[in-house]
Structure 1
Amino acid sequence: MLLSRRSLCSLFLLALLAASSSTVLAAGRRTVVSKVAPVYPEIARRMHVGGVVVLQLTVAPDGSVTDAKVESGHALLGNAAQEAVRRWRFEPAADTTSMTVDVNFNAQ
């Protein structure tokens, strides 16, 4: 059964509502098989810094993330987003894929 990207995004949002930070697949052709939630940096938490970090990913044919570059977002959140997304796994594919993901940090 194939789900639309909109349906997948809705499912991710529902699954992550209770978390202090959430992650949403923004664009791409491969489905996330497993993901690691970002660790909210303590300094960002104390300063009530939140927002979205946009990352450009390169995903290998085996589904591992081989590169994650911050395109935009608060400097205090970028490293945490990169570290988490590098541990994500995507469905295998025949070739390397580039995609953009948004990692949303809710200010606390």
Structure 2
Amino acid sequence: MREPAYDTALAEEDAMRRSSTIVSIVVHAIVVAGALMAQLVAVGPLPAVPHEPMTLVGVIPVRVIDIPLPPPQHAARGPASVDPIGPSVAPIEAPAGVAHEAAPTCTDCTTTDAIGVERGVGSSEIFGRADPIPAAAPPPAPQTPIHLRSDMQAPRKMRHVDPVYPRVAQAAHIEGTVILEAVIDVNGAVTSVRVLRSIPLLDQAAVDAVRAWTFTPTLLNGVAVPVALTVTVRFEMTR
């Protein structure tokens, strides 16, 4: 026979086991519900699916009507018509006689010699006459200065200017000859001067003097051309 205290302990143990089971079920339900809510919040609302209205197109029956074609018309054939011979058709028979036309008379006509040269009344013989051959045009004049050659007409000095002896060169007793190259245009004017052999204290005086010179135009085949000449300027002190 069991004791009352033992039965009481078993009853309390069963009650605690049932209560723990219920609490465990409730806790699991809360955890599952929380997980589902978290997923729904993370995903967000689902996009709405647009609904397009449906249009029903009715089919209209078409009736085909056969239209009869008209019968072909045949043109009536008749005898071919023959055009009568009109007045514009040439006659078949030759005329009885043909009148001869008189040769025209000419008071001022040209005659032909036996060699085939025409002559007019009162004109001279033109056999062997030919137009003169035009002379060949001279070659164009060069645009750049050229050096003086033997086939060119050399320019002549029209104006001469003596150089001014620099005082510094006189004080230093400097003498000598400056060699220059002068370019003369088609009018005979000196357009540029270049020093070929230099004496430093005398170069500028020589260049200034040559720039003031003038010449006659240089001719090549009768045409004025620019030319480059070599000129010298002598500096010598008087004693």
Post-superposition offset of 1:107: 3.1
- SS of residue matched to 2:168: helix
| Aligned pair partner of 1:83 in 186, 192, 208 | 208
Match runs of 1:35-74 below 5 Å: 35-74=160-199
Match runs of 1:7-22 below 5 Å: none
Letter matched to residue 96 of structure 1: P
Letter matched to residue 57 of structure 1: A
1:51–1:74 contact (8 Å) kept in structure 2:
yes
Post-superposition offset of 1:64: 0.5
| Aligned pair partner of 1:95 in 213, 217, 225 | 225
1:51–1:73 contact (8 Å) kept in structure 2:
no
TM-score (norm 1): 0.71
Post-superposition offset of 1:71: 0.6
Post-superposition offset of 1:31: 1.0
Question: Structure 1 or 2: larger strand share?
Answer: 1
Q: Which stretches of structure 1, 4 residues or longer, exceed 4 Å deviation after superposition?
A: none
Post-superposition offset of 1:30: 1.3
TM-score (norm 2): 0.33
Structure 1 gap segments, 5+ residues each:
1-27
CA-based RMSD: 1.5
* Structure 2 CA distance for aligned equivalents of residues 52 and 101 of structure 1: 10
Letter matched to residue 229 of structure 2: M
* Structure 2 CA distance for aligned equivalents of residues 64 and 92 of structure 1: 8
Q: Which has the larger radius of gyration?
A: 2
* Structure 1 CA distance for aligned equivalents of residues 155 and 230 of structure 2: 11
Post-superposition offset of 1:73: 2.8
What is the aligned partner in structure 1 of residue 237 from structure 2?
107
* Structure 1 CA distance for aligned equivalents of residues 233 and 194 of structure 2: 12
Identity %: 36
What is the aligned partner in structure 2 of residue 33 from structure 1?
158
* Structure 2 CA distance for aligned equivalents of residues 44 and 73 of structure 1: 14
Letter matched to residue 51 of structure 1: G
Post-superposition offset of 1:67: 0.5
Count of residues in Structure 1 that have an aligned counterpart in Structure 2: 82
Higher RCO (C-alpha 8 Å, min separation 6): 1
Kindly provide the CA deviation profile for residues 47-102 of structure 1, in whole angstroms up to 9, marking residues without a partner as x.
01010000001001111100001110311000000001001000123010101001
